[in-house]
Amino acid sequence: MAAAKLIVPMDRDLRVGDWTSRYIVTDATILDRKTALILGYGQIGRRIARGCRGLGMEVIGVKRTPPDAGSERDAEGAEVHAIAELATLLPRADALIMVLPETPETAGMIGARELAALRPGALLVNVGRGPTLDEAAIYNALRGGTLRAAGIDVWYAYPQTLEERTSKAPSRFPFHELDNVVMSPHRGGWLSEAEVDRLDQLAALLNAAATGQPMANRVDKALGY
């Protein structure tokens, strides 16, 4: 929503007393009646879909395991498609929301060609893994106006030492110079309030393992997630 409303430059200006953005036409995006394409329609993707529908958006979910017959609608009304259909779905998207794990199959899945296929003025959000989105392609699309705006939580370069935590750029490109990007330091999945739930889930998994019961959220090592 911050990307859609171009909150970053308005926040920056108002901090120094500049109200100009209140009185001029901006490129802010109305989300109502727009289409969100969620790439990675697992548990997190479905949770995001609920929020999108709450904003009045239509939702298309894309997942690795295809529906039984072409496409289907889930219990909450979202279209669900197989990843093989992605090329035909991109032109329908006003917002592309990426929730992909990083695997050999997903690395570089979205590049310049895919970004150019989105509807004019589209938004992009990446809360999966950085390398699933081509670094140069997303920077150039934002700088050149192919995309209206983006929210990015996952990156291409991370601090390796304590000293770098206060000085490490997240990309070889100067995303920080762009007004149409909302940047966060890979914090989308970390909330202190959620830690109690995380511990409860861990306890349930350990108890299931100890008693020989089926374990939820199993990782498929062949797939990488």
Other C-beta atoms closer than 10 Å to the C-beta of 45 total 22
Paired residues of 63 in beta bridges: 82
What are the pLDDT digits (tens) for 85-133? Answer: 999 999 999 999 999 999 999 999 999 999 999 999 999 999 999 999 9
Given phi > 0 = left and psi -120 to 50 = alpha, else beta, which region is 198? alpha
Which token pair is 202?
Answer: 């861990």
What are the pLDDT digits (tens) for 176-212? Answer: 999 999 999 999 877 777 788 889 989 999 999 999 9
CA distance 106 to 38: 14
CA distance 72 to 208: 33
